[in-house]
Amino acid sequence: MKRSRLTQHRPFRAAFWPGGILLLCMLTLLGCGGTYGSFVYDEQVDQIFEELTVLPDHSYYFSGSDSRPDAIIAIDEAFTLESRIWKPVEMTDDQLKAWVFNPTRRAKYLPYTYGRYMLTDDGQRIGLWYSLYDWRAFATIRMLDDTIVQVSTPFDESYRRKRSNFFNSHHHDDD
């Protein structure tokens, strides 16, 4: 009996699947290199922002609209932020006041603020995170090495509807 062309290649397919799945798993793990940090609540972070304290040894960035950011981060000068989304800003008391006490934003999210310390996996302080909405479900801290950090951005509702759900590979349009 002559075997059809389809059945002649079945041993190859059977051998390919386990090897292909193993290769896919290995590539996935390689793509997840680096360690992950954490967000730790401390009301002192809220106080730092709400008392309009600009930390001199930190670089400031924001995500979202220039007039109503979704979040503000302050990265300690010992670390470098790698991001295509976070926008750097020369922070001043006036700029911080305009953002922290923006009446439109605060009316929407009051009475809560979400000040957090950002920590490495071994507990070293990377910087501070401040927002008027709890973005922890969407934000992660990834250490690319000992001093280079990647912080995912929070997304507002319109952004989440337009884009995929994660990370620093998309351009974030202003509101």
Q: Is the pLDDT of residue 102 over 80?
A: no
Is 58 a domain residue?
yes
Give the pLDDT score at 174: 41
The answer to whether 83 and 61 have CB atoms below 8 angstroms apart is yes
Is 125 a domain residue?
yes
Is 119 a domain residue?
yes
Looking at every residue in the chain, the average pLDDT score rounds to 76
Report H helices in the chain: 5-8, 10-31, 43-50, 93-100, 103-109, 157-162
Is 106 a domain residue?
yes
92 or 14: whose pLDDT is higher? 92
Q: What is the band of 149 on the pLDDT scale with cuts at 50, 70, 90? A: very high
Is 171 a domain residue?
no
Tokens of 167: 């990370």
Is 87 a domain residue?
yes
In terms of Cα–Cα distance, which of 68, 74, 70 is closest to 48?
A: 74
* High-pLDDT (> 70) share of the chain, %: 61
Number of domains in the chain: 1
Is 3 a domain residue?
no
Domain membership of residue 68 as a residue range: 35-162
Is 10 a domain residue?
no
